[in-house]
Amino acid sequence: MMSSSGPHLSLWKRGLSVVPDEVWRRIDLESLVLAYNGLTEISERVGGLNNLRMLDLGHNKLHELPDSIGRLEGLSDFLYLHDNRLATLPSSFARLERLRYLNISENAFEVLPEVVTEMSLRVLRDRSQRTKDFAISRAHWMNNWTPGVRVRFLSVTIATGG
């Protein structure tokens, strides 16, 4: 099923409902694309892919992510989570200190997950038409967001109260 050798693996549009076990044994991977499948969950074993710099989980049916995703401390280039069914992110996301780009568009977030404000992102993207307005406390935002971060939102409300 997997013909790729080397540090990059794309299982884009393979009609997967489960990630094959052999993927989790590929500790050499630097990029992993699992987009456009029917995935409803990601194994805790994802945390063992220590060399990952890019992970694309977009366009699936994920309701939650494993806490072990926070062990991907080398994840630096981008993490695509767009077009899933996520309503929260694990608190372990705060350990993704090198991550520069996070796309959380088209999910079930009603408010911006607080853990996102603890991250050192350069770009946070949400273009969701289905999410409600994000309400972010201005005081929390100003005290916790990393200077120089570019944030792209559609339909954002920043509350003036603390």
In a domain, 53, yes or no: yes
The per-residue pLDDT for range 10-37, each reduced to its tens digit, is 999 999 999 999 999 999 999 999 999 9
**What is the distance between the terminal CA atoms of the chain, rounded to a whole angstrom?**
53
- Tell me the residue type at 20: P
The tally of domains found in the chain comes to 1
In a domain, 2, yes or no: no
94-109: b or e for each residue (b if 16 or more CB lie within 10 Å)?
Answer: bbbeebbbbbbbbbeb
Q: Which tokens sit at 27?
A: 């500790």
Residue ranges for the chain with pLDDT beneath 70: 1-5, 127-162
- CATH code for position 111: 3.80.10.10
H/E segment holding residue 38: none
**Would you give the distance in Å from CA 56 to the centre of its chain?**
8
